[in-house]
């Protein structure tokens, strides 16, 4: 049973470009969460999705950031017009209920 | 405001000793608390979950306690090994909060010396 998969593992973007991060949850999991981890900081919740629905986006910046979890395919975290402060590790987690979350390996975004 | 604190950023111990990590929280009423392990360049790995009505939970060399009066959880690794070296994170889900929204501490980096 494959774990949570994220791609790309590393992403380099120049300021102003768009970043798309993908997350495939564990098989059978219908809950997906995105977290951001800055250097020397803890994991910060961004958004919680179920299939085709955003349940909680209270941790996501209001501008430039969006997330989706379509009926088919992976969940996507999209960052438009990236700035240097967006450089971080972005982790996706999935669960089949509301307790234990299983994390992917993360995508490390570097904005030049 | 709500806060989660892990008592130290780093903890160095000798192989074979028991490592004890602390997680304190304020202004929360958590339904349960979880501990994760994170290795450099990797995602967190779930270790243990303890509910508000449980005092203690064990798994192999790991033990977690949860004191809702003190608002504190202790995480113990007995007979520690160099392979236990990692960052350990505590996380809470809050009753009434977003379903599934976990709040994480910054972590304690454990180094076990041979």
| Binary contact (B103, A102; C-beta < 8 A) | no
Contact call for residues B72 and B50 (beta carbons, < 8 A): no
Average pLDDT (B64-93) is 94
- Mind telling me how many Å the CA of B82 is from chain A's nearest CA? 22
Q: What is the pLDDT of residue B88?
A: 97
Q: Is the pLDDT of residue B18 over 80?
A: yes
Q: Is the pLDDT of residue A26 over 90?
A: yes
> Closest partner residue to B42 among A43, A98, A105, by Cβ?
A105
A8 prior amide bond cis, ω within 30: yes
B-chain CB neighbours of A99 within 8 Å are 32, 34, 49, 93
Interchain CB contact of A4 with B (< 8 Å): yes
Instruction: Please tell me the number of Cα atoms within 13 Å of A82 on its side-chain side.
Output: 21
Average pLDDT (B49-58) is 92
> Closest partner residue to B46 among A59, A102, A104, by Cβ?
A102
Q: Report the candidate in B46, B24, B92 with the shortest Cα–Cα distance to residue A95.
A: B46
Share of chain A above pLDDT 70, in %: 98
pLDDT tens digits for range A59-110: 999 999 999 999 889 999 999 999 999 999 999 999 987 678 999 999 999 9
């Amino acid at each position: 049973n494959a774990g949570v998969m994220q791609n790309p593992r590393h992403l380099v973007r120049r300021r102003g470009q768009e970043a798309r991060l993908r997350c495939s949850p564990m098989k059978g999991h219908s809950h997906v969460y995105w977290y951001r981890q800055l250097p020397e900081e803890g994991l910060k919740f961004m958004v919680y999705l179920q299939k085709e629905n955003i349940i909680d986006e209270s941790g996501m910046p209001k501008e430039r950031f969006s997330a989706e979890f379509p009926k088919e395919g992976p969940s996507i975290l999209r960052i438009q017009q990236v700035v240097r402060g967006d450089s971080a590790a972005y982790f996706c987690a999935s669960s089949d209920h509301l307790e234990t979350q299983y994390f992917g390996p993360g995508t490390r975004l570097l904005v030049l | 405001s709500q806060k989660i604190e892990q008592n130290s950023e780093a903890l160095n111990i000798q192989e074979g000793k028991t490592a004890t990590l602390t997680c304190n929280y304020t202004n929360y009423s958590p339904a349960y608390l979880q501990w994760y392990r994170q290795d450099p360049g990797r995602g967190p790995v779930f270790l243990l979950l303890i509910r508000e009505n449980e005092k203690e939970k064990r798994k192999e060399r790991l033990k977690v306690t949860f004191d809702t009066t003190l608002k504190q959880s202790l995480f113990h690794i007995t007979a520690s090994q160099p392979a236990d070296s990692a960052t350990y994170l505590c996380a809470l889900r809050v009753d009434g909060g977003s379903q599934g929204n976990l709040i994480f501490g910054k972590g304690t980096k454990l180094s076990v010396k041979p």
